[in-house]
Amino acid sequence: MSNNNDGFSASSVFLAFVLGGIVGAGVALLMAPQSGKETREKIKGIADDIKEKATGYAGQIKDKVTSAVEDGKDFFEEKKSLLTAAVEAGKEAYEKEKGKHSL
């Protein structure tokens, strides 16, 4: 859950900023007075840059997700062992009390 009161997360604001920059760059290229070949080359260059950045961001996201999954597994295993220990302690206490009352 986000800590922001307006419902926007930092990542969604950053993504909107990046997308706005991309759209602005595209409009600037299309409006610039240059030949079609030059414009296509610039668009190709920008597309290649975006592809590289997207690949980098995807790698970072994959690393973060993998880390979060591992943390979740560790947390689950820790709580599972605590719960198992509590259940075993409860069984032992039950058996003790049961033995006391059956005598």
Enumerate the domain spans of the chain.
34-102
CA dist., res. 94 & res. 89, Å (int): 9
Q: How confident is the model at residue 46 (pLDDT cuts 50, 70, 90)?
A: confident
CA dist., res. 86 & res. 97, Å (int): 16
Q: From the DSSP assignment, how many helices (H) and strands (E) are in the chain?
A: 2, 0
Residue 88 confidence (pLDDT): 92
Residue 10 confidence (pLDDT): 75
Residue 41's Cα: distance from chain center in Å? 34
> What pTM does this model have?
0.44
